């Protein structure tokens, strides 16, 4: 008989999930919410977004952020908001569309990114959202890693994608107002 899985609580963590207003995205949002995380529900429909937040455990700790992956302005706004949250532990890029979702011919319609709409929404939009949110993800990964110890500043900088430790130190000071050494 398989052993029961008892996931650890993740109280205080923040998880953002695109397409969390229904389907797999909603169930992906429910799991961290049940474990105590704050969930940022990103989606196109404000009414469905607020309904999803209300259906999650402890709804007052969660938030809906509007995001239309077919609209570059919406992507920029949501990405900048994610990049500015005080803590962002995970970003789940779940949303997407399939052929036929927009009516006849979506696979050949040119979208906001200058490529077929489906490619733009499913791939390029998430890449742009991640690019804008990445400072928050990097910041929180750095803070967590520095708190745990076990890796040098140089190793941490490399793991987080910085070309050199000095670039990481400058970014860390910009994010937190402190040096990485202050967090050890």
The model's pLDDT over 144-178, given as tens digits with 9 standing for 90+, comes to 899 888 899 999 999 999 999 999 999 999 988 99
The model's pLDDT over 19-78, given as tens digits with 9 standing for 90+, comes to 999 999 999 999 999 999 999 999 999 999 999 999 999 999 999 999 999 999 999 999
Does the pLDDT at position 93 exceed 60? Answer: yes
- Give domain 14-134's CATH number out of 3.40.50.620, 3.40.50.1000, 3.40.50.1950, 3.40.50.720: 3.40.50.720
Does the pLDDT at position 9 exceed 60? Answer: yes
Q: Which residue ranges make up each domain of the chain?
A: 14-134, 149-184
Q: What pLDDT, on the 0 to 100 scale, is given for residue 181?
A: 87
E strands, the chain, are 14-18, 38-43, 63-66, 90-92
- Going by pLDDT thresholds of 50, 70 and 90, the confidence category of residue 3 is confident
CA dist 36 and 54 (Å) reads 15
Pick 13 or 106 by higher pLDDT: 13
SS3 state of residue 91: strand
CA dist 70 and 73 (Å) reads 9
């Amino acid at each position: 008989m398989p052993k029961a899985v008892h996931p650890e609580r993740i109280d205080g963590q923040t998880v953002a999930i695109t397409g969390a207003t229904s389907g797999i995205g909603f169930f992906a949002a429910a799991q961290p919410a049940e474990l105590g995380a704050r969930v940022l529900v990103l989606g196109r429909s404000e009414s469905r977004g607020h309904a999803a937040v209300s259906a999650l455990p402890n709804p007052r700790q969660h938030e809906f952020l509007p995001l239309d992956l077919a609209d570059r302005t919406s992507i920029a706004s949501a990405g900048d908001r994610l990049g500015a949250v005080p803590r962002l532990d995970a970003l789940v890029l779940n949303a997407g569309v399939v052929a036929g979702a927009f009516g006849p011919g979506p696979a050949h319609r040119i979208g906001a990114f200058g490529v077929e709409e489906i490619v733009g929404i499913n791939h390029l939009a998430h890449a742009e959202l991640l690019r804008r949110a990445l400072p928050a993800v990097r910041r929180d990964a750095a803070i967590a890693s520095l708190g745990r110890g076990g890796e040098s500043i140089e190793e941490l900088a490399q793991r987080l994608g910085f070309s050199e430790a000095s670039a990481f130190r400058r970014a860390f000071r910009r994010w937190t107002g402190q040096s990485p050494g202050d967090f050890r």
